Amino acid sequence: MTTNTAAVRSLATSRAEVLKAAFVAFVLGVGLVYGAGFANSQSVHDAAHDSRHALSFPCH
Protein backbone atom coordinates (compact mmCIF):
# COMPACT_ATOMS: atom_id res chain seq x y z
CA MET A 1 0.00 0.00 0.00
CA THR A 2 1.37 3.44 -0.88
CA THR A 3 0.86 6.64 1.01
CA ASN A 4 -0.04 9.80 -0.76
CA THR A 5 2.05 12.69 0.60
CA ALA A 6 -0.43 15.23 -0.78
CA ALA A 7 -3.19 13.64 1.30
CA VAL A 8 -0.99 13.73 4.40
CA ARG A 9 -0.20 17.41 3.81
CA SER A 10 -3.87 18.12 3.19
CA LEU A 11 -4.78 16.45 6.49
CA ALA A 12 -2.16 18.48 8.34
CA THR A 13 -3.41 21.68 6.73
CA SER A 14 -6.98 20.80 7.58
CA ARG A 15 -6.05 20.22 11.21
CA ALA A 16 -4.22 23.56 11.35
CA GLU A 17 -7.21 25.32 9.83
CA VAL A 18 -9.57 23.68 12.31
CA LEU A 19 -7.38 24.70 15.23
CA LYS A 20 -7.19 28.25 13.91
CA ALA A 21 -10.98 28.44 13.52
CA ALA A 22 -11.48 26.99 17.02
CA PHE A 23 -9.12 29.59 18.50
CA VAL A 24 -10.91 32.45 16.74
CA ALA A 25 -14.29 31.14 17.90
CA PHE A 26 -12.99 30.85 21.46
CA VAL A 27 -11.65 34.41 21.46
CA LEU A 28 -14.90 35.78 20.04
CA GLY A 29 -16.93 33.78 22.55
CA VAL A 30 -14.87 35.03 25.49
CA GLY A 31 -15.22 38.56 24.16
CA LEU A 32 -19.00 38.24 23.95
CA VAL A 33 -19.31 36.78 27.43
CA TYR A 34 -16.96 39.41 28.87
CA GLY A 35 -18.81 42.20 27.07
CA ALA A 36 -22.21 40.98 28.19
CA GLY A 37 -20.98 40.49 31.75
CA PHE A 38 -19.81 44.07 32.15
CA ALA A 39 -22.45 45.80 30.01
CA ASN A 40 -25.37 47.66 31.47
CA SER A 41 -28.06 45.02 31.96
CA GLN A 42 -30.73 47.17 30.34
CA SER A 43 -28.68 47.57 27.15
CA VAL A 44 -28.11 43.79 26.98
CA HIS A 45 -31.85 43.21 27.45
CA ASP A 46 -32.68 45.74 24.75
CA ALA A 47 -30.24 44.15 22.30
CA ALA A 48 -31.68 40.68 22.90
CA HIS A 49 -35.21 42.03 22.72
CA ASP A 50 -34.57 43.81 19.42
CA SER A 51 -32.89 40.70 18.01
CA ARG A 52 -35.90 38.57 18.89
CA HIS A 53 -38.21 41.02 17.13
CA ALA A 54 -35.91 41.16 14.09
CA LEU A 55 -36.10 37.37 13.82
CA SER A 56 -39.90 37.41 14.23
CA PHE A 57 -39.90 35.60 17.57
CA PRO A 58 -42.68 36.63 19.93
CA CYS A 59 -41.46 37.79 23.29
CA HIS A 60 -44.47 39.46 24.91
- Report pLDDT for 35: 77
CA angle (47 as vertex; 28, 41 as ends), nearest 5: 90
Q: In terms of residue numbers, what domain contains 42?
A: 21-60
pTM above 0.85, yes or no: no
**Cβ-contact 45, 53 below 8 angstroms:** no
Is residue 7 domain-resident? no
- Report pLDDT for 40: 77
Is residue 5 domain-resident? no
Is residue 11 domain-resident? no
- Report pLDDT for 1: 54
Is residue 8 domain-resident? no
Instruction: Render pLDDT for 2-36 as a digit per residue (tens, 0 to 9).
Output: 666 666 666 667 888 999 999 999 999 988 888 77
Q: Measured between alpha carbons, how far is 56 from 53 in angstroms, rounded to an integer?
A: 5
Q: Measured between alpha carbons, how far is 45 from 2 in angstroms, rounded to an integer?
A: 59
Is residue 34 domain-resident? yes
Contacting residues for 58 by C-beta, under 8 A, at least 6 apart: 52
pLDDT at residue 52 greater than cutoff 90: no
Is residue 55 domain-resident? yes
Is residue 36 domain-resident? yes
How many structural domains does the chain have? 1
